[in-house]
Chain A
Amino acid sequence: MALAPPITDIELLRSHPALAGLLAWNAAAVQAVKFDRDELTIWVEKDAIREVSAILRDSADCPFNYLADLTCVDWYPSEPRFEVVYHLLSISKKERVRVKARLDGSSPAIETVTSVWPSANHYEREVFDLFGVRFTGHPNLTRIMMPDDWEGHPLRKDYPVEGYR
């Protein structure tokens, strides 16, 4: 089974329920799209993440009411360094979509989506703990896995696998 090449043309993907709603709302917030291995990825403006989330959740024909996963990828040393990744699921329509926002490495911060999906709370704390990405407006942004006095963020690429000795 050969892999089909990814589709990145926004016009070809316009009919996908997640993308249609976003483009109708504000086409400028969508930076790029990719359809690869049967999965749709949408890159959005980081300042618009909360509005984008609300639009996707409240969409009439395909509400993405379930935040399946929230995580981060570190592309050190290239910039923008961080990508915050949201995996959404529509329970009624069984559709999935991946939303991404790019952040700078110098002081990575993005607005929280806990007001849209309360389940984002622990996931955002985990990303804050392990990557050092701040979520502005988060109700309780503290470390969750590592001890409170830990130095550094272990899942960053410039953090050694063996830890600091």
Chain B
Amino acid sequence: MVLNMGPQHPSTHGVLRLILEIDGETIVRMRPEIGYLHTGIEKTCEAKFYQQVVPLTDRIDYLCPMTNNLAYCLAVEKLLGLEIPPKAQWMRVLMNELTRINSHLVWLGTHAMDLGAMTVFLYCFREREDVLRFFEMVSGQRMMTSYFRIGGLALEPPLGFFEKVKKFADRFPGNVDEYEGLLTGNPIFMMRTKGVGHLSAEDAIALGACGPTLRGSGVDIDLRRDSPYTGYENFKFNVPVRSEGDVFARYLCRVAELRESIGMVQQALAGMPEGPIKADAPKVVLPDREKMKTQMEALIYHFKIITEGFSVPAGEVYSAIESPRGEMGYYIVSDGTAKPYRVHMRGPSYANLQALAKMCEGQLIADVVAVIGSIDVVLGDIDR
């Protein structure tokens, strides 16, 4: 029998349609159908100036806007050969780890709710609200932040920001204990997740899985440690790896990542350097408001960047970072003009989706919900 699951199914976390061939309750074959959210962002990018693409990147993976901003900005900065001042780099790490916490909290809440644990959802969204308030403080936006710009940051963090983050960071490990108290030893949760959706390390690599899905299968890889970007080499953290390869292993990996992230937030707060937040490149980075109003030269640069963009030397780069879901890569081809010739976004959810069929085949229909939750799909990231 063929069963159609989605696209309007609450547990598919968006508009994912799964076509299940079933024998009784057991899944024989699964085929994901995607494209319901396809908006042609890659095509749109080709018609925009480089700096105008930043807000588009928020909208790909809407749960971790800052990591997308970062991946894009790093790629363009690599094309330009721009050097980013240390304070901007540390702020980027700080905001990135807060983004990871934000994204993992949404995942943990919805994943637990899919499996029937309502309380965890409420707890997670309570803490997520704090993180969204931090985003609002620095950028004025809760979700579509566009806070990282080519060459640095959009704005200085406001007064009192670091104190508030510090308070949150001191409290948060206790909150993670709360979530773990509700789930990790919970017999119902363990029965729904242990041994379900198994993916071996060989299959995970062959099928292109990435991020916690790959680490949950025992492959020790994390781009923050293996090819450090934006100053991650200054931070101390562990990469949680589990060898079981089931839904529970991926759950443990992500929860451990929450603790590692908050550790990095603490390190970033303690070591935050002083200095400028934008690179010294007047042709690329918009001048300060104050300078623009008092200096003729700054006004000219401002006018030129806004009206005709800035040209980027011809070439191509692939810049990958570790987003909460795995390897988020930007492949940008420049032909020397002010608009990118080609922008390709390598979304981690798109890669993980291919492993979904392998994980679900032979399982029960009810387990599909658990498996989808465990790879943490974001359909905006898949369809682009």
Binding site for B on A (CB under 8 A): 1-3, 6, 36-37, 39, 41, 65-69, 71, 73-74, 85, 87, 91, 94, 96, 98, 117-119, 121-122, 130, 143-147, 154-155, 159, 161
The range of chain B's interface size is: 35 or more
Which residue on chain A has the smallest CB distance to residue B344?
A71
Q: List 18 A-B contacts (CB under 8 A).
A: A6-B315, A36-B316, A37-B317, A39-B316, A68-B208, A68-B327, A68-B329, A69-B329, A73-B341, A91-B221, A94-B226, A117-B206, A118-B354, A121-B354, A122-B353, A122-B354, A143-B35, A145-B34
The answer to whether B317 and A39 have CB atoms under 8 Å apart is: yes
Q: Does B164 contact A (CB under 8 A)?
A: no
The CA-CA distance from A77 to B295 in the complex, in Å, is 44
The CA-CA distance from A159 to B44 in the complex, in Å, is 12
The CA-CA distance from A146 to B354 in the complex, in Å, is 18
Q: Using A146-B38, A154-B43 as known contacts, say yes or no to A69 and B344 having CB atoms under 8 A apart.
A: yes
Given A69-B331, A118-B208, 17 new contacts (CB under 8 A): A1-B82, A36-B316, A37-B317, A65-B205, A68-B327, A69-B318, A85-B344, A87-B331, A87-B346, A94-B226, A96-B318, A98-B316, A118-B206, A119-B208, A130-B42, A144-B34, A155-B42
Which residue on chain B has the smallest CB distance to residue A148?
B35
Which residue on chain B has the smallest CB distance to residue A122?
B354
In residues 321-344 of chain B, which contact A (Cβ within 8 Å)?
A: 327, 329, 331, 333, 341-342, 344
Contact bitstring B24-65, A, C-beta under 8 A = 1, else 0: 000000000011001010111011000000000000000000
The answer to whether A154 and B40 have CB atoms under 8 Å apart is: yes
The CA-CA distance from A1 to B226 in the complex, in Å, is 23
The CA-CA distance from A66 to B346 in the complex, in Å, is 14
**Chain A residues with CB under 8 A of B333:** 73
**Chain B residues with CB under 8 A of A67:** 208
**Chain B residues with CB under 8 A of A74:** 342
Q: Does B361 contact A (CB under 8 A)?
A: no
**Chain B residues with CB under 8 A of A3:** 81, 313
The answer to whether A117 and B208 have CB atoms under 8 Å apart is: yes
The one of A41, A87, A118 that contacts B329, using a Cβ cutoff of 8 Å: A87
The CA-CA distance from A155 to B313 in the complex, in Å, is 23
The answer to whether B350 and A37 have CB atoms under 8 Å apart is: no
The answer to whether A1 and B83 have CB atoms under 8 Å apart is: yes
The CA-CA distance from A116 to B353 in the complex, in Å, is 19
The answer to whether A73 and B342 have CB atoms under 8 Å apart is: yes
Top 9 closest A-B pairs, CB basis? A119-B208, A69-B346, A3-B81, A145-B35, A145-B38, A71-B344, A1-B83, A161-B47, A94-B226
Distance (whole angstroms) from the CB of A139 to the closest CB of chain B = 12
The CA-CA distance from A157 to B307 in the complex, in Å, is 24
Which residue on chain A has the smallest CB distance to residue B32?
A122
Q: Does B93 contact A (CB under 8 A)?
A: no
Distance (whole angstroms) from the CB of B356 to the closest CB of chain A = 11
The CA-CA distance from A159 to B43 in the complex, in Å, is 10
Distance (whole angstroms) from the CB of B35 to the closest CB of chain A = 4
The answer to whether B79 and A37 have CB atoms under 8 Å apart is: yes
Q: Using A96-B318, A117-B208 as known contacts, say yes or no to A37 and B34 having CB atoms under 8 A apart.
A: no
**Chain A residues with CB under 8 A of B313:** 3
Distance (whole angstroms) from the CB of B384 to the closest CB of chain A = 8
Q: Using A1-B81, A37-B78, A161-B47 as known contacts, say yes or no to A145 and B383 having CB atoms under 8 A apart.
A: yes
Q: Does B227 contact A (CB under 8 A)?
A: yes
The CA-CA distance from A67 to B207 in the complex, in Å, is 9
The answer to whether B44 and A161 have CB atoms under 8 Å apart is: yes
